[in-house]
């Protein structure tokens, strides 16, 4: 854009600075925000362009805590092994871990939020007013998804086979704060009815419930993966700090490498890529 004086102008609602002042979100950074706004609250504000209420901040920060670390997941292993290979590149190690946030780990937060939003958008008329109505809506959605040969995001976990301990806690926090909205209610209903369609019971996982909670906060579902990555960045920094104190990267690498066994290609291994 061009200003009235012909000088290029680049509008932003985020941060600007002069030689004497930094402003962020329309506030004086040093006078109005530093020491007065928590990082989670600020992260919400930066995306929503409105300051969250204390209740919203509690739910939002509970999500960040829930997604920060989950042990030696692929994201943590990638970060540790990258740091082993390039200890001079802390940013590379963290980036390596973040790049693994996809449809199986972390990315489920966004996938679930988007799935729930799409189901709610398809609903004609008012939303259900009781559990029976939510169950009927969820049952129809799960049935459509199964018939399309797709998975319902947020169902199942590689470690927590019966119950993900994060799920009921986050739902409880949202209920306490008056923020248990339609996305969470639909997600809970999916947990109640999916066995009728899938023939087996799966837990509602933590990444999925985080997506539902974030969507109920009114945050754009297209950005929910970003919040998961924001949370995991803290966890990855912790993983790298521990790798420095008590390294396991070399052992992990050597365990795999020293136990690699050559196997001749089989007839069903696919075409030779060199041809």
* Token duo for residue 8: 């290029």
pLDDT at site 69: 93
Contact at 8 Å (CB) between 38 and 57?
A: yes
Q: What is the pLDDT along the chain (275 residues), one digit of tens a residue?
A: 666 677 888 999 999 999 999 999 999 999 999 999 999 999 999 999 999 999 999 999 999 999 999 889 999 999 999 999 999 999 999 999 999 887 777 778 999 999 999 999 999 889 999 999 999 999 999 999 999 999 999 998 878 888 899 999 999 999 999 999 999 999 999 999 999 999 999 999 999 999 999 999 999 999 999 999 999 999 999 999 999 999 999 999 999 999 999 999 986 666 655 44
The single-letter DSSP state of residue 265 is: P
Instruction: Please give the radius of gyration of the chain, using alpha carbons only, rounded to the nearest integer.
Output: 23
In angstroms, the CA 68 to CA 102 distance is 15
pLDDT at site 275: 46
pLDDT at site 104: 75
pLDDT at site 37: 97
In angstroms, the CA 129 to CA 132 distance is 8
Q: How many residues are given for the chain?
A: 275
Contact at 8 Å (CB) between 194 and 202?
A: yes
- Name, in order, each residue with C-beta under 8 angstroms of 26's C-beta and a sequence gap of 6 or more: 13
In angstroms, the CA 6 to CA 76 distance is 50
Q: Which among 35, 37, 90, 97 has a CA at the least distance from the CA of 68?
A: 97
* Token duo for residue 265: 């290609």
Distances (CA, A) of 32 to 11, 40, 45, 54: 22, 16, 14, 17
Contact at 8 Å (CB) between 41 and 29?
A: no
**Number of other residues whose CB lies within 10 A of the CB of residue 53:** 15
């Amino acid at each position: 854009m061009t200003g009235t004086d012909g000088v290029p102008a680049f509008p932003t609602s985020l941060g600007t600075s002069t030689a004497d002042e930094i402003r962020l979100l329309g506030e004086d950074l040093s006078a109005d925000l530093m020491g007065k706004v928590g990082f989670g609250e600020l992260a919400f504000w930066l995306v929503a362009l409105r300051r969250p209420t204390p209740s919203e901040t509690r739910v939002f920060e509970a999500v960040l805590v829930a997604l920060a670390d989950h042990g030696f997941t692929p994201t943590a292993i990638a970060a540790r092994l990258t740091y082993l290979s390039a200890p001079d590149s802390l940013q590379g190690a963290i980036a390596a871990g973040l790049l693994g946030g996809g449809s199986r780990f972390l990315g489920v937060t966004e996938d679930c939020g988007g799935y729930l939003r799409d189901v709610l958008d398809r609903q004609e008329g008012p939303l259900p007013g009781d559990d029976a109505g939510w169950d009927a809506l969820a049952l129809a959605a799960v049935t459509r998804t199964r018939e399309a040969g797709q998975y319902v995001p947020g169902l199942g976990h590689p470690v927590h086979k019966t119950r993900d301990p994060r799920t009921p806690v986050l739902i409880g926090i949202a209920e306490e704060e008056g923020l248990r909205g339609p996305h969470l209610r639909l997600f809970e209903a999916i947990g109640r009815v999916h066995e009728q369609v899938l023939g087996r019971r799966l837990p509602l996982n933590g990444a999925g419930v985080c997506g539902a909670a974030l969507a109920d906060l009114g945050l754009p579902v297209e950005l929910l993966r970003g919040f998961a990555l924001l949370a995991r960045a803290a966890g990855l920094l912790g993983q790298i700090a521990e790798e420095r104190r008590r390294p396991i990267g070399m052992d992990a690498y050597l365990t795999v490498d020293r136990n690699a066994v050559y196997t001749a290609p089989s007839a069903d291994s696919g075409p030779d890529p060199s041809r």
